[in-house]
Amino acid sequence: MTSRADGNLWRASSAVHVEAPPLRADADADLVIIGGGFTGNAAALEAARRGASVIVLEAESVGHGGSGRNVGLVNAGLWLPPNDVVAQMGKEAGQKLIGLLADAPRLVWSLIERENIGCEATPNGTLHLAHSAAGLRNLEERHRQGVELGAPVQLLDAAETARRTGSRAFYGSLFDPRAGTIQPLSYARGLVCAAIRAGARLHEQTAVSRVERVGDHWQVMANGHTVRAGSLLLATNAYFNGIDIAVRPQFVAVNYCQFATAPMPKPLRAEILSGGEGCWDTALVMSSFRTDREGRMILGGIGDAGGRGAAVHAGWARRKLRQVYPQLAGLTFEYSWHGRIAMTSDHIPKIVRLGPSAYACFGYSGRGIGPGTVFGTRVAASLLDGCENGLPVAPVDNHRERLTAVRAVYYESGAVLVHALTGA
């Protein structure tokens, strides 16, 4: 496998660039945001456009975490079917979240258009692929639930799925025309560039060491300096790095790896995902498929491509590509990268109160783009307005997850085992 740049296709191909200096002096703001990903950058943009003074502190570079390692699927809703969301949250709260996230792609597309973000936006829908007969039955039920809620989803048979994907490996699919794909790192960078144009300040290479409430404001210590702010948003998601803070986000970290081929020949580009849809399958250890603007096939799956099972995951990717797209068997993988997903036990995102006028948002369970944009935008409004009614989920004073390290090992071990045995 050839390796380019740092191995991450999105870093190599991003058309949006942003550079910001580290924090080098004490500062004051209305809102301080920790984390330069989808959630933090969407919050910064909303707050800055409302006239607030905003400071974003990013430990590495914008999009360094899950936002810049994402598959790039702009999905409507959560990974859970709607009825499961209602069962977890109750009817009123569940339907509120379902409605907001059903509209998440529209928000993403509108921000991209309004701020002229060059992120390969392709609002051509997504295909949830049935990997087996049981998977097709799952999609039939998801289709039924979606139609009941007024979602414009369409159940496609195996022949139509084969026509759209260019593969006969699937039993059918669920098409969602609201959704689509983007270059995720460019989107994350584009959001913060728009926030900067609106007056926000960004500091990269600024790792926060301590957060505390002092009197009527928050103090955030980083690089030996202090940022004082009336409001605080912790938006590190799965990349929380041990900040000294009274309430810490709890989640299970799950790795997801991706492999991108060389660009496909033009005849194959006209045959494989020619409509530009993004795809993922119904397997318990799921796989994803999409193309980029250059016609690369990007194959993803659960697993840590930089860990002890790296060789297993890479071998699986080569076999899986041959299985699903035998016409691409001769293409080499040019890029390989991985990132962390923050999972919660119930697969529902969380908003945790850190204290007065302060929240942490996390736990999108692999759906970072739409939910991250919605949560960031609405949390910013809530912090500035002092009203929680518009939040996507009711905030809690704490959220606990049990055996997080053990469960993380379990997920990775399961992915290694499945990838060792499948995709042949």
Residue 423's pLDDT band, with cuts at 50, 70 and 90, is low
Residue 424's pLDDT band, with cuts at 50, 70 and 90, is very low
Domain boundaries defined on the chain: 9-421
Classify domain 9-421 at the CATH class level. Answer: alpha beta
Q: Find tokens 């087996």 and name the residue.
A: 132
What is the distance, to the nearest Å, from the Cα of residue 45 to the centroid of all Cα atoms in its chain? 18
Q: Find tokens 């979606």 and name the residue.
A: 146
Pick from 68-77, 139-148, 231-240, 414-423: least confident: 414-423
pLDDT tens for residues 175-234? 999 999 999 999 999 999 999 999 999 999 999 999 999 999 999 999 999 999 999 999
Residue 403: both structure tokens together: 């055996």
Residue with more model confidence, 366 or 142: 142
pLDDT tens for residues 282-341? 999 999 999 999 999 999 999 999 999 999 999 999 999 999 999 999 999 999 999 999
| Mean pLDDT on 88-96 | 97
- With a cut of 50, say whether residue 242 has pLDDT above it: yes
Residue 12: both structure tokens together: 């190599």
Residue 197: both structure tokens together: 């144009």
| Mean pLDDT on 112-136 | 98
Contact indicator for 59, 207 with CB cutoff of 8 Å: yes
What residues are paired with 214 via a beta bridge?
A: 217
pLDDT tens for residues 351-368? 999 999 999 999 999 899
> What is the value of pTM for the model shown?
0.96
Residue 79's pLDDT band, with cuts at 50, 70 and 90, is confident
Angle value at C-alpha 239, between 233 and 245, nearest 5 degrees: 50
- With a cut of 80, say whether residue 6 has pLDDT above it: no
Mean pLDDT score across all residues of the chain: 96
Give the pLDDT confidence score for residue 3 in this predicted structure.
Answer: 45
Could you tell me where the beta strands, DSSP code E, fall in 59-166?
Answer: 73-74, 126-129, 154-156
| Mean pLDDT on 241-245 | 93
Give the pLDDT confidence score for residue 1 in this predicted structure.
Answer: 39
